[in-house]
Amino acid sequence: MKKFLLTGLIALCLVPVSTGKPAYKNPRLPEEKRVEDLLSRMTLAEKVMQLNQYTLGRNDNVNNIGEVVGKLPAELGSVIYFGSDPVLRNAMQKRAMEESRLGIPLIFGYDDIHGFKTVYQISLGQACSWNPALVEKMCAHSAREARRSGIDWTFSPMIDVARDPRWGRVAEGYGEDPYVNGVFGAASVRGYQGAGLRSLDAVAACLKHYVGYGASEAGRDYVYTEISRPTLWNVYLYPYKMCVDAGAVSLMSSFNDISGVPGSANHYTLSEVLRDAWGFDGLVVSDWDAVRQLINQGYCKDLEEASEAAITAGVDMDMMSHGYDTYLGDLVGSGKVPLSVVDEAVRRVLRVKFRLGLFENPYTPEEAPEKRFFLPEALETASQLAAESMVLLKNDGVLPVKDVSRIAVVGPLANNRLDLLGNWKAHGEAADADAFLSGIEREFPSAEVRYEEGCNVRGEGDFSAAVELARWSDVVVLCLGEMLNWSGENTSRSSIALPAGQERLLEALKAAGKPVVVTLTNGRPLELNRIEPLANAILETWQPGINGAGALAGILSGRINPSGKLAITFPWSTGQIPIYYNRHKSGRRGTQGIYKDITSDPLYPFGHGLSYTTFEYGEPVCVGAPSLGAPFKVEVKVTNTGAADGLETVLWYISDPYCRVVTRPEKELKYFEKKLIKAGASETFVFEVDPARDLGYLDGAGRYFVEAGEYHIFVGDKDIKLQL
Ligand code: BGC
């Protein structure tokens, strides 16, 4: 009797107390129960509306709040919100909560890519820091600014492996290597979502652009991509798997046609791989207008057919094509799209809304901008990330600059704040950024610093005053580079050289006979073969965000020892593209298969980056007896043989030289680690090799295999051969 009473009591405690509200409104019920309850109450029309994302345009703001909100269907699924003011967001949300029958909150998305208001280094530069923990921190700060400004969901990170620097979107990802994209993408996901999706310090991440978008032919945006299945699995899907495993709750389907089936209608990638093989239960949104573009791509004859193709492939939400809202109801009515397909898509949308806690907390607290933006820790992270991501490409000893009394600062990027912000600067403004010139003036208080622009970013201008200044100086700092909108979406270029006028400015300054330090600010690898011989030093700053100036000046003075290394190859010339380190082997080696007119080597390879100290790598050693059956360790001792403390990133590559299933790249990066090594000291770096993760490869069906035989592990200039 007593036992029954007790069990009854326990059971009572476990049964959720009825609140009198529908189950989906009860936060104590499990997510799936809430999803199913809500789904069961929805009409087809309500379901269809959840699957659309609209935007009301950039001009809509708090000043025309009534009109804006009036335009929104109360049952809509999502809005791309271009504002940074919670007041307007809240007014839109109020309409959804109070004027729709079931009170389903909107989810507000936005491209918070490398900073919302505090703008940080661009993603390509971030990868050159080899410091994913720092990128995680940056994304956490950025998430906080965004969520508190009304954004629940960021369309970031972009983890498209990109090997063609003519493609403007190389700026937005983490370079040419699948593993690097996976590691930094996963760090971003943890940064954005890590505080817990319900927290005001987190946003939902969206992996994009799924998949293969970086393979765009000839670097032209939006075009066809030819991707074999082994390459799809080992190069393009690889980082997505890592980031899905890191817990990303959404993905964006891509614009590109993947070998005949566009990314936004690709049942194989969206359903067979993502949903079935990987068990992903979150949401897939199309890229902007990508459903409609299925017509241009020659895959569907009209928007109705395109909507059918996209939803049945696994695109849950239609961003701005207005295909789902127009046709889905009828498509279900006519039986062309089963209701179960729509239900599954709605489930995925609702799940993310429940995970974000939007049903309980639909509104954003209306805090003043000073409470949200430019917090000291965010600014500190912006400085550190800028410092660690800059790459010293060349130095003949002119750097660090010592004992100079007259510094000439020249060039179109020297006193230019806007172009430091890079593409997708979100709510960042030029006025927020610190100009390189100001940083240099602060860094060298005992020197006289004078400035001349020389030419504008297009390379136009009269150089004479700049040349005069160079003659006066002890050293010239020449700040060259690109405009922020020369990279990013739809900014393909046939040549990746800087404008000829900028190169001529360098020639003219060099002729003045003074050492010239060139700094580069750009969103893609550049062709530097005319610049390299003239420059005494070259510092790649990328587009470092608002606090790049202190980092650049600190590197010039030696206060900061540069530690960035390239996460993407710099070709010697545009004609070598595509050129990347993890290429497949050639049938003829030595003198064949090479260019007859130019070198076949890149100017600066993947992993290149100089320091003010020198590091010596010892012989790597295997701890114990390695085998394919269990994880094992390889260690290397690295000694700082110079006079300055320095951060060193050790890159570990593997190679499987012979493979009968499918041939493999010459070498594949599998691990990296960055550590501070004091001058004269040594550090041991350890690569814990898990054969089940690090030594194998995927076949065309995505099956992982590891072959017995010879393997190599490369570290620094050393190679260890293993028979496993
Ligand atoms: C871009 C995406 C972006 C979306 C929303 C598209 O044109 O390709 O990267 O997230 O617009 O702004």
Backbone angles phi, psi at 107, to 5 degrees: -110, 130
Q: Which residue has the tokens 């194998």?
A: 696
Q: In this predicted model, what pLDDT tens digit does every residue of 460-479 receive, in sequence order?
A: 999 999 999 999 999 999 99
CA-closest residue to ligand 1 atom 10: 155
The encoded tokens of residue 104 equal 């389903």
Active site includes 287?
Answer: yes
For ligand 1, atom 11: residue with the closest CA? 288
User: Nearest 5°: phi and psi at 501?
Assistant: -60, -35
Ligand 1 proximal residues by C-beta, below 6 Å? 111, 155, 208, 287-288, 489
- Is 59's pLDDT higher than 90? no
Residue range 119-141: mean pLDDT, rounded: 98
* DSSP track, 127-138: HTTT-HHHHHHH
Provide the pLDDT confidence category of residue 65 given band limits of 50, 70 and 90: confident
Residue 490 to residues 486, 521, 534, Cα–Cα distance (Å): 9, 19, 32
What is the distance in A from the centroid of ligand 1 to the CA of 513? 47
pLDDT of 323 higher than 90 = yes
pLDDT at 6 over 60: no
Q: Is the distance from CB of 205 to CB of 185 less than 8 angstroms?
A: no
Residue for token pair 């410092």: 387
Confidence class of residue 5 from pLDDT cuts 50, 70 and 90?
very low
Question: Ligand 1: which of 489, 490, 491, 492 to mutate, most ligand atoms within 8 Å of CB?
Answer: 489
* Of 290, 291, 292, 270, the residue nearest 282 (C-alpha): 270
Return the pLDDT at 20: 79
Q: Of 210, 212, 234, whose CA–CA distance to 282 is shortest?
A: 210
- Probe target for ligand 1 pocket from 211, 213, 287, 292, with the most ligand atoms within 8 Å of CB: 287
**193 Cα: distance to centroid of ligand 1 (angstroms):** 20
Distance CA 222, CA 239 (A): 21
Task: Give the number of other Cβ atoms within 10 Å of residue 548's Cβ.
Answer: 35
Nearest atom of ligand 1 to the alpha carbon of 158: 9
Q: Model pTM? A: 0.96
Mutate which of 107, 158, 285, 288 to test ligand 1's pocket (most atoms within 8 Å of Cβ)? 288
Which residue's CA is minimally distant from atom 4 of ligand 1?
Answer: 288
pLDDT band at 9 (very low <50, low <70, confident <90, very high): very low
User: Which of 164, 257, 287, 318 is labelled catalytic?
Assistant: 287
Q: Give per-residue pLDDT as tens, 329-354.
A: 999 999 999 999 999 999 999 999 99
Burial 1-32 (b: 16+ CB within 10 A, else e): eeeeeeeeeeeeeeeeeeeeeebbbbeebeee
Please give the share of the chain, as a percent, with pLDDT higher than 90.
94
- Asked if residue 665 has pLDDT above 50, the reply is yes
Q: Quick one: pLDDT at residue 643?
A: 97
Taken in order of first residue, the domains within the chain and their CATH numbers are 382-576 (3.40.50.1700), 615-723 (2.60.40.10)
568 falls in which pLDDT band (50, 70, 90)?
very high
